[in-house]
């Protein structure tokens, strides 16, 4: 399990439920490594500011992560974490590896609005 303060997605059913019940969803799928931890931290910081977005993380090594790993948008990725943004259940953006707060907020603003 990931040691973050984000809501974890541990099963496929949980992922499906989150995507069905939320218009805007950001899922960060990774491990507790140096490229992943900064992204979780930024997501935690942004949760209040972007209350219209559901922020979740997912352990890269559990079966439920296959859903993220198998997305076509992630097929060329070469680094953890895989961070995927969903609008109405569809992928609208995806990034690989560590991202800055500026990079993340730019995507959030673009795909979900402020």
Which residues lie near another protein (CB under 8 A)? 30-31, 33-36, 60, 76-80, 95-100
Closer residue to another protein in complex, CB, 51/76 = 76
Compute CA distances 98 → 28, 42, 43, 104, whole Å: 10, 11, 12, 10
Pair 26, 56: CB distance under 8 Å: yes
Closer residue to another protein in complex, CB, 79/113 = 79
Pair 56, 6: CB distance under 8 Å: yes
Shortest distance (Å) from residue 25 CB to another protein: 20
Closer residue to another protein in complex, CB, 8/38 = 38
Shortest distance (Å) from residue 74 CB to another protein: 10
Q: Is the peptide bond before 81 cis (omega within 30 degrees of 0)?
A: yes
Compute CA distances 57 → 26, 95, whole Å: 8, 14
Closer residue to another protein in complex, CB, 24/99 = 99
Shortest distance (Å) from residue 60 CB to another protein: 8
Shortest distance (Å) from residue 36 CB to another protein: 7
């Amino acid at each position: 399990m990931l040691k973050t303060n984000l809501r974890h997605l541990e099963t496929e059913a949980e992922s499906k439920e989150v995507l069905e019940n939320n218009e805007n969803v950001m899922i960060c799928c990774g491990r507790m490594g140096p490229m992943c931890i900064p992204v979780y931290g930024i997501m935690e910081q942004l949760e209040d500011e972007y209350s219209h977005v559901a922020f979740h993380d997912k352990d890269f090594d559990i079966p439920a992560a296959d859903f993220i790993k198998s997305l076509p948008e992630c097929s060329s990725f070469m680094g953890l974490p895989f961070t995927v943004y969903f609008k109405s259940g569809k992928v609208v953006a995806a990034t690989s590896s560590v991202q800055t707060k500026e990079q993340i907020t730019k995507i959030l603003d673009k795909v979900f609005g402020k």
